[in-house]
Structure 1
């Protein structure tokens, strides 16, 4: 069961980064630009972020396993449509829209089921370690696997590969049992779902418009903030009237969870922002092909694999606060190394130390951040917090690609690479500051531990 859940996180993370090494191939084949591919990648991440909260709420009404399987099917259809895309529009429909919707349906159940099936701190840390390791590896190894497939066959085959992995997950998921029965009587806040999605879309699209029209950027950002303000007013009014909102404002009353969410957002901003920036720079400026770019990213994959799979042992020896702070510190040093060494040496090896450090740092802190948030709430709120947690993480991925990508494509040959990476380092320092305020206690039991009678399962 854990294999199915971890593989699901792997393929969704893979989808967010593997296109980074296909930038030249896709733009030439579909007669588009680097910015066009960036939009496709960002919209995919944005759709996930915008729909993750509604996806989490739907699990309460229709059941975690049913939502999981439905998401897998929608994702597979999107992957196959992307493989056959004749132009950028169809690629965005298949990859950005359908795969994004599928991911929003299947990812919340991954985190809810992991939390419920592993009731104690140690076993849950181990389970989340496996899930987050596969997720991080999917994001870090996406460029390598995508590069190998693109060079050996075609960029289209990478989407067929995704569909095949989905088929494997469907087979494995037959053994999954939902520990909580669905409740068809649970209401669903349609207005809240629309407002939250529209608000997030407007904010990210505003960032993407920065290099084309500053006034359009400002207009979209202001409009997005106003829509999100409308959303929170709607939530407050719905709660005051006794109706169930899309997202309870009580979730934000937990200080530890709030800090954990901030660290999650910045972690994925660093990972996806670095992945897009380095991949685009290597291909467009340095002239590397897909497989050469992917091989360079192996350093990040190895670093992330080593530390992620040690999550259980690290959680037993160090506090979550220590792990998250250490992860951010190592990652920021890695970003600085990427800027300094790339500017001093022309060899591809100049990118390896920085990517290795970023992989090691992210692997150390991905699991404790998730564990802190999920363990702060009882089982009846797992649907809400799981959707919020994944939305915040994917919003970080969207911000990373949008912010760093916008800086990069605005002037690839004018020092934009260094500017983009330095911007990511500043965000990393912000994440480090947030982590410093996490509780000092060892372990992840910083809030209400979910109560469940569900049996423990093996990996």
Structure 2
């Protein structure tokens, strides 16, 4: 145990933390800013709301599908090299999206290249933060900054994207992403890798293909729900079969003494498993709410991009307030208490979003609910990450970081896919309420998992 150890020294640690936090910001921003561009993109590229939803969901899905391989590659090539490579791939995707002549090129640039770039650069963010800050409260401070920027990117994405879209063009939002990436590269020049790369480490290519294919099939099955129930069932069953095949290959490799893509022993840690569930549901709630409210405001109430973005300021403010207080909260309350409180606040926020929006036509009706959801997410995002990362020693940070980020981004994909599927089946007040009720019901899973966490958790 190193629960009382001092944070280890590294050159320009504050600058490195800034780079890591900005990286999480821009990746989260990319997942939510398109929500306010639904009308603009669909008109400019001659597509539909569902077409834009597919682009958003595929981006989140590619991140989830390739996050585990991305985490594994950090052991072989080093965290800094993977981080910088991911930044370059992401920037190319952003610039390609900015000049996209149609939906297909937009999906290639935004959904595929930005998704792959994110999968390469995000695992190093959490590995480096874990290695540089080994003590629980100092690690909570680092994760608090990273998650605050990540949460702000997701919550403020609609506002920033709305301002850029209204003031210039939706295409300029992708140029903005490329510019932020350039800043991150400059900040990363003094980054030191606390652990040396190990070129001798093997990489399970077949396992990476199977895991990615299985996750893609499952989410595509959810997306198919509003078009063809039988296709949905077929895709879900096929996805489950491929994932089962993946775990069988992992078991066989471990039995043969070989290194698989993902060790099954990662799932032997009960505390980490519960933390992963809370992470998945948190991002499901965040991205599902963001897509539901943004689509409803634009398609039903005919708000423009900037008006939609302004409404989301309430969630951004709430998330910022509680995320930046992560270190102080970690000193006063247990991780379990914080996560449970966060889920409770989010569920109350959903109730407020349903009841007040039904009763009043003003935009102010969205503020209390979004503020509560923002406060709740800010309270629990950091401790959930802390719980998972702190459950494993240094040598396993590559594996658990990839798994953790994959689970979180899979939650984002599920949130957008589930809420979007309900909405596009009929964008009415009833569909809006049904989507929000579904998200609240799924939050009960996260609350139950949080209640089963141990009262005291220490870093390894």
> TM-score normalized by structure 1?
0.97
Please state how far the C-alpha of 1:414 moved relative to its aligned partner: 5.8
Instruction: Report the counterpart of residue 53 of structure 2 in structure 1.
Output: 38
Q: Which residue of 253, 268, 279 corresponds with 2:294?
A: 279
Aligned equivalent of 1:115: 130
- How does 1:305-454 map onto structure 2 within 5 Å? 305-413=320-428, 415-441=430-456, 444-445=457-458, 449=460
Q: Name which of 113, 121, 144 aligns with 1:129.
A: 144
Name whichever of 121-130 and 284-293 sits farther off.
121-130
Write the distance in 1 (CA, Å) between the matches of 2:319 and 2:428: 30
2:38 equivalent in structure 1: 23
Partner residue, 1:196 = 211
CA distance in 2 between partners of 1:237 and 1:191 (Å): 13
2:199 aligned to which of 150, 162, 184: 184
Q: CA RMSD in A?
A: 0.6
Task: Return the alpha-carbon distance in structure 2 between the equivalents of residues 277 and 408 of structure 1.
Answer: 7
How many residue pairs get matched?
Answer: 445
CA distance in 2, matches of 1:32, 1:335: 30
Deviation at 1:352, TM superposition (A): 0.4
In structure 2, the partner of 1:5 is 20
Aligned to 2:9: none
Alignment partner, residue 454 of structure 1: none
Correspondence for 2:109 among 89, 94, 98: 94
Residue 172 of structure 2 corresponds to 157
Which residue is equivalent to 1:453? none
Question: C-alpha offsets along residues 24-65 of structure 1, whole Å, 9 cap, x if unaligned?
Answer: 000000000000000000000000000000000000000000
1:79 and 2:94 correspond: yes
Which secondary structure does the structure 2 equivalent of 1:247 belong to? coil
Listed as ranges, the gaps of 5+ residues in structure 2 are 1-15
Per the alignment, residue 103 of structure 1 pairs with 118
Corresponding position of 1:168: 183
For 1:402 and 1:410, locate their aligned partners in 2 and report how far apart those are by CA, in whole Å. 12
CA distance, structure 1, for counterparts of residue 79 and residue 224 of structure 2:
37
- 3-state SS, counterpart of residue 415 of structure 1: helix
1:264 aligns with 2:270: no
SS in 1 for 2:101: coil
Separation of aligned partners in 2, 1:256 and 1:132: 20
Q: Is 1:148 the counterpart of 2:163 in the alignment? A: yes
**Cα separation, 2, equivalents of 1:189 and 1:91:** 30
